[in-house]
Amino acid sequence: MTEMRSKPASTVSGGVPDLAPEQLPLPVRPVSPSVEPPLAALLELTHRCPLQCPYCSNPLEMDRVQAELTTEEWCRVISELAMLGALQVHFSGGEPTVRQDLVDLVRHAREVGFYTNLITSGAAITRPRFLALIDAGLDHVQLSFQDAEPNSAVRISHVPNIQEKKLAFAGWVRESGTPLTVNAVIHRQNIDHIDAMIDLAVKLHANRLEVAHVQYYGWALANRAALMPSRAQLEFVTERVMDARERYRGKLVIDYVVPDYYAHQPKACMGGWGRQFLNITPSGKVLPCHAAETIPGMTFPSVREQPLADIWAHAEAFQRFRGTDWMPEPCRGCDQREIDWGGCRCQALAITGDAAAADPACAKSSWHAAMQEIAATASDASSQTDFRYRRMAAAPKH
C-alpha cells in the first residue's frame, strides 16, 4: 500500500525539538520493553475525496468532515508519534490535499524530525499549494493512477479530465526534484493495460512503480465481482512485470506482490499486527491496520481520549493479535509464524468468519480451496462489470 523509507540519518534524534507547551504529549505509562516502537504511521487526514474509485480501501461508513481531528489535534498526535520513536509519517485519506491545513501538518512533521510522504490522487491541488508543501519539507510523493488509458481512468475514478490533472501534478513533482512513486492499482478491468502503465511510470521519470493488486476490503469488497482478475490475467501481468524489471533495471524500481486470492503463502500483513505500523482515522481512532474496523467485537481507542504511546503499548486492540501467543494451529506450530505472522486478520475474518484463523491465502489453511473458488467465481468476466462507486462530497473545512 505505501512505500516505507528510512529516515535520513541527519534527522534521526532521540527526542522532539522545541515544541510549544500545548503541543507536548500527555504523560503516559512507560512502553513495555518487549514492544518495539512503530516504524511508521498512516495518517488518514480525511475520508473526503473528489474521486470515487470502486476499490477504495476506506470503510463504507466514512467519517464526516465534522468528526475530523483539528489542526491542533493532528499536530499533537504527530508530536506523540515522534516521542514514541516512529520515523515516517504518510499523509493519506481519502484525499489528504483537500485538508487546507496540510502544509502546516507537513511542516510540523518535518520540525519534529519525520520523513514525510504524501499519498495522493493529484487531482485536488494547485501548483502553488504543492510548492508550499515542498517548502514545508515534504520528502516524497506517491501518486496513484486509475489507468494509463484516459477514458478508462475517467470511468474508474468517475472524474472528468482526471488524467490531465494527474499528468500536470506529476510534472510539478518532477520539476521540484521530489522523489516520485507511481502507484498503479490493478484489477480485471485495467489489467490488460499493464504495459502502458509501466511506460507511463518511465515517461514520468518515477523512481519507483508500485503495481498494486486491489485488496478486497471496504469498497473493493463491495465491488469484488467487477474487479477480480482471472488466473490467466494474473499470469500475464506477472510476466509483463518481470520483463519490465529486467528492461528498466537501474532506472525504475518495480514493486509487485501477487494478490492474496491466488497466493499460496500469505503476506506479513502490516509487518505483523502491532509490530511496525499504525493507522489513525480522520476522527482519531488508532488501528493496527486500515481495515481492522471490519473485525466485530473490537474497540479502537481514540487519540482524543488516550495518549498514543499508551494505546500502542497497552490497548487491547493492539495486544489481541500481537506476536504469536494468540495463534491457533496450523500457525502455532508453523516455522513461518515469525515471518508472515499468520497473514491478514481481516482477510481471515472475511473468508472464514474467524479473525484468529490462519489467513486463507495460506495453502495450510483449511479454507484455502474455498478462497480460490471465490476468486474463480468472482473473476468470471461475464458476471459483473458495472461498478458501485464510492461517493462522498469533498468540501474543505480546515
Where is the binding site for [4Fe-4S] cluster, in residues?
49, 53, 56
Does 342 contact ligand SF4 by CB under 6 A?
yes
Pairing mode, strands 286-287 and 277-280: antiparallel
Q: Cell numbers 474497540 correspond to what residue?
A: 299
Q: Which stretch binds ligand SF4 (CB under 6 A): 5-13, 66-74, 171-179, 355-363?
A: 355-363
- The SS3 call for residue 286 is strand
Does 53 contact ligand SF4 by CB under 6 A?
yes
DSSP code at position 302: B
Touching ligand SF4, residues 238-267 (CB under 6 A)? 265-266
Touching ligand SF4, residues 314-333 (CB under 6 A)? 330-331
For residue 259, the one-letter residue type is P
Does 227 contact ligand SF4 by CB under 6 A?
no
Does 362 contact ligand SF4 by CB under 6 A?
yes
Q: CA 391, CA 60: separation in Å to the nearest integer?
A: 9
Quick one: 94 exposed, middle or buried, by C-beta within 10 A (0-12, 13-18, 19+)? buried
Of 25, 38, 94, 284, which one interacts with ligand SF4 (CB under 6 A)?
94
Q: CA 175, CA 106: separation in Å to the nearest integer?
A: 20
C-beta of 284 vs 343, nearer to ligand SF4 = 343
Rounded to a whole number of angstroms, the minimum distance from the CB of residue 60 to ligand SF4 is: 12
Does 364 contact ligand SF4 by CB under 6 A?
yes
Query: Which residues have C-beta within 8 Å of that of residue 37, sequence separation ≥ 6?
Result: 31, 84, 85, 86, 312
C-beta of 157 vs 379, nearer to ligand SF4 = 157
Touching ligand SF4, residues 104-143 (CB under 6 A)? 121
Q: CA 262, CA 376: separation in Å to the nearest integer?
A: 9
Rounded to a whole number of angstroms, the minimum distance from the CB of residue 26 to ligand SF4 is: 31
Q: CA 74, CA 105: separation in Å to the nearest integer?
A: 7
Q: CA 396, CA 335: separation in Å to the nearest integer?
A: 50
Of 336, 376, 384, 398, which one interacts with ligand SF4 (CB under 6 A)?
336
Rounded to a whole number of angstroms, the minimum distance from the CB of residue 221 to ligand SF4 is: 14
Q: Which stretch binds ligand SF4 (CB under 6 A): 48-56, 72-80, 99-107, 171-179?
A: 48-56
Q: Which stretch binds ligand SF4 (CB under 6 A): 38-46, 93-101, 125-133, 293-301?
A: 93-101
Q: CA 168, CA 246: separation in Å to the nearest integer?
A: 29
Q: How many CB atoms lie within 10 A of CB 52?
A: 17
C-beta of 40 vs 45, nearer to ligand SF4 = 45
Please say whether the beta carbons of 67 and 283 come within 8 A.
Answer: yes
Please say whether the beta carbons of 388 and 219 come within 8 A.
Answer: yes
Q: How many residues bind ligand SF4 (CB under 6 A)?
A: 26
C-beta of 158 vs 245, nearer to ligand SF4 = 158
∠ CA 242-247-248, rounded to 5°: 100
Contact positions toward ligand SF4, by CB under 6 A?
Answer: 49, 51-53, 56, 58, 93-95, 121, 144, 265-266, 330-331, 334, 336-337, 340, 342-343, 358-359, 362, 364, 390
